[in-house]
Amino acid sequence: MKRITLILCLLLPGIISTAQNNYDASLIPKDLLLYASAVVRNEEVTTEVKDLDNVIHRVKRAITVLNKNGDDIAHIVVRYDKNIVIKYIKGSSYNEFGKLIGKFGERDFEDESAISNSSLFEDDRVKHYIPAITQYPYTIEYEYELKYKQTLYFEDWTPNPTTGLAVEKSSYVFICNPDFNIRYKELNFPVKVVTGNNKYGLKTYSWEINNMKAIKDEPLSPEWNLYLTRVIVAPEKFAYGNITGSFNNWKEMGKWEYDKLLSDRTDVPSQTAEYIKELTANIADPKLKAKKIYEYMQQKTHYISIQVGIGGFQPFLASDVDKLNYGDCKALVNYTRSLLKVVNIDSYYCLVYGNHKEKISMLRDFASMQGNHVILCIPFKNDTTWLECTSQTKPFGFLSDFTDDRIVLACTPDGGKLMHTPKYTTEENLEKRKASFIINDAGELTGDMETVFKGTDYDDREWIIDDSPAERVRDIKRIYPINNLEIDKLVLKQDKSQRPVTTEDIKLSARDYGSVSDGKFSFTLNSVKRRIGLYQTRNRVKPVNINRGHTEEDEITYTLPKGYHLVSDPLKVSIDKPFGNFTAVMTLSGDQLVYKRKLQIRDGTYSKDTYQDLVDFYQTVVDADGYNVALVKN
Partner 1 sequence: MITKNITLFLTILFISISAMAQDFPYGKVDNKALEMKKYDKDTSAHAVVLQEYGSSRIALTNDYDLRITFEYHAKIKFFDNKEFDSQGTVVVPVYGNGNSYEDVQEIRGITFYKDDNGLIQAAELDPKKVFRVQDNKHWSTLKFAMPALRSGCVIEINYKVVSPYIYNFHSWNFQSNIPKVNSEYEVHIPGFWSYNASLKGSLKLTKNSATVERKCFTFGIANADCSDIVYGISDVPAFIEEDYMTAEKNFKSAINFELEEETNLNNGAKTKYSKEWKDIDYLLKGDNSFGSQLKRKDLMKERIMPLIVNKTDELEKASAIYTYIKNTIKWNERNEAGSDDGIRKALDNHTGSSGDINLALVTALNSAGIRTEAVLLSTRANGTLNNLYPNLFDFNYVIAKGNIGDKSYFLDATDQLLPFGMLPLRCLNDKGRVFSLDKPSYWIDMITEQREKVICNAELTLQVNGKLKGTITRFSIGYSSYLRRKEIKKFNTVDEYVENFNSKLPKVKILKSSITNLDSLDMPLGEIYEIELDAADNLNHEHFKFNPFFMNWITTNPFKLAERDFPVDWGMPSDERSVFIIHLPAQYIFENPPQNMAFAMPNQGGKFLTSYDSRDNTFTFSNVTQFNKSVYGPEEYPYLKELYNKIILSEKNEMVFKKK
Residues numbered 487-526 forming contacts with partner 1, rule: CB under 8 A: 512, 515, 517-518, 520, 522, 524
User: 348-352 and 373-380 as β-strands: parallel, antiparallel, unpaired?
Assistant: antiparallel
Which positions from 542 to 561 touch partner 1 by CB under 8 A, shown as an x/- string? --------------------
* Residue of the chain from 241, 379, 481, 604 that contacts partner 1 (CB under 8 A): 481
Site string for partner 1, 415-454 (x = CB under 8 A): ----------------------------------------
Contact yes or no for 223/360 (Cβ under 8 A)? yes
Q: Is 483 left (phi over 0), alpha (psi -120 to 50) or beta?
A: beta
User: For the window 159-178, what string marks contact with partner 1 as x by the rule CB under 8 A?
Assistant: -----x--------------
Smallest distance, Å, CB 619 to partner 1?
5
- 284 makes contact with partner 1 (CB under 8 A): no
The C-alpha atoms of residue 221 and residue 229 are separated, in whole angstroms, by: 15
CA 18 to chain CA centroid, nearest Å: 39
Given the complex with partner 1, which of 289 and 454 has the nearer CB atom? Answer: 289
Strands across the sheet containing 407-412:
383-387, 373-380, 348-352, 407-412, 415-420
Contact 57, 27 (CB under 8 A): no
Q: C-beta of 421: minimal distance to partner 1 in Å?
A: 26
Q: x/- binding map, residues 133-152, to partner 1, per CB under 8 A?
A: xxx-----------------
Nearer to partner 1 among residue 377 and residue 528 (C-beta): 528
Binding of residue 132 to partner 1 (CB under 8 A): yes
Q: What are phi and psi of 557, to 5 degrees?
A: -105, 125
Q: How far is the CB of 592 from partner 1 (least distance, A)?
A: 21
CA 296 vs. chain centroid, Å, equals: 28
Give which of 55, 240, 21, 81 is closest to 145, Cα–Cα. Answer: 55
Tell me how many residues contact partner 1 (CB under 8 A): 73
Torsion 191-222-9-245 (CA) sign: negative
Could you give the angle at which helices 286-300 and 329-342 cross, rounded to 10 degrees?
140
Which residue of 220, 534, 560, 599 would you call a contact of partner 1, by CB under 8 A? 534
Residue 485 burial (CB < 10 Å; 0-12/13-18/19+)? buried
* The one segment of 341-349, 352-360, 536-544, 546-554 that binds partner 1 by CB under 8 A: 536-544
- Select from 184, 224, 227, 275 the one that contacts partner 1 (CB under 8 A): 275
Q: Which of residues 295-354 bind partner 1 (CB under 8 A)?
A: 299-300, 302, 304, 323-326
Count CB-CB contacts under 10 A for residue 413: 12
Backbone angles phi, psi at 109, to 5 degrees: -85, 145
Cβ 38 to partner 1 shortest distance, Å: 9
Q: Pick out residues in 370-399 that bind partner 1 (CB under 8 A).
A: 392
Query: Which residues touch 576 (CB under 8 Å, ≥6 apart)?
Result: none
455 in Cβ contact with 425 (< 8 Å): yes
Interacting positions 87-116 with partner 1 (CB under 8 A): 110-113, 115
Q: Which of 182, 243, 615, 632 binds partner 1 (CB under 8 A)?
A: 615
Q: Which lies closer to partner 1 via its Cβ, residue 320 or residue 428?
A: 320
Task: Region of 580 please: left (phi>0), alpha (psi -120 to 50) or beta.
Answer: left
Shortest separation between residue 349's beta carbon and partner 1, angstroms: 23
Residue from 18, 179, 478, 634 that binds partner 1 (CB under 8 A)?
478
Question: Residue 228 interacts with partner 1 (CB under 8 A)?
Answer: no
**Three-class SS state of 19:** coil
Distance separating alpha carbons of residues 132 and 129, to the nearest angstrom: 9
- Sites for partner 1 among residues 31-90 (CB under 8 A): 33, 35-37, 66-69
| Residue 478, CA atoms < 13 Å, CB-side half-sphere | 7
Does 206 bind partner 1 (CB under 8 A)? Our answer is: no
Q: Quick one: which of 497, 607, 628, 633 contacts partner 1 (CB under 8 A)?
A: 628
Cβ nearer to partner 1, comparing 192 with 478? 478
Distance from C-alpha of 435 to C-alpha of 553, rounded to nearest angstrom = 11
Q: Pick from 426, 415, 413: which is nearest to 546 by CA?
A: 426
Q: Which lies closer to partner 1 via its Cβ, residue 22 or residue 515?
A: 515
Minimum CB distance to partner 1 smaller for 39 or for 360? 39
Q: How far is the CB of 41 from partner 1 (least distance, A)?
A: 17
| Binding test (CB under 8 A) with partner 1, winner from 335, 424, 627, 631 | 627
Query: Do 152 and 240 touch, CB atoms closer than 8 A?
Result: yes
Q: Which of 99, 277, 474, 493 binds partner 1 (CB under 8 A)?
A: 474
Selected from 183, 533, 542, 608, the binder of partner 1 by CB under 8 A is: 533
- Nearer to partner 1 by Cβ, of 302 and 434: the residue is 302
Q: Which of 270, 282, 468, 634 binds partner 1 (CB under 8 A)?
A: 468
| Burial group, residue 311, by CB count within 10 angstroms (0-12, 13-18, 19+) | buried
CB of 536 to partner 1, least distance (A): 5
Nearer to partner 1, 264 or 518 (CB): 518
Judge contact between 452 and 552, C-beta under 8 A. no
Interface stretch with partner 1, choices 130-138, 229-237, 358-366, 601-609 (CB under 8 A): 130-138
Measured CA distances, 593 to 66, 523, 560, 626 (Å): 58, 12, 7, 16
CB-nearer residue toward partner 1: 238 or 316: 316
With binding defined as CB under 8 A, does residue 576 bind partner 1? no
| Of 107, 364, 381, 538, the one binding partner 1 by CB under 8 A | 538
* Residue 4 φ then ψ, to 5°: -65, -35
Q: How far is the CB of 604 from partner 1 (least distance, A)?
A: 23
> Any idea what DSSP says for residue 20?
T
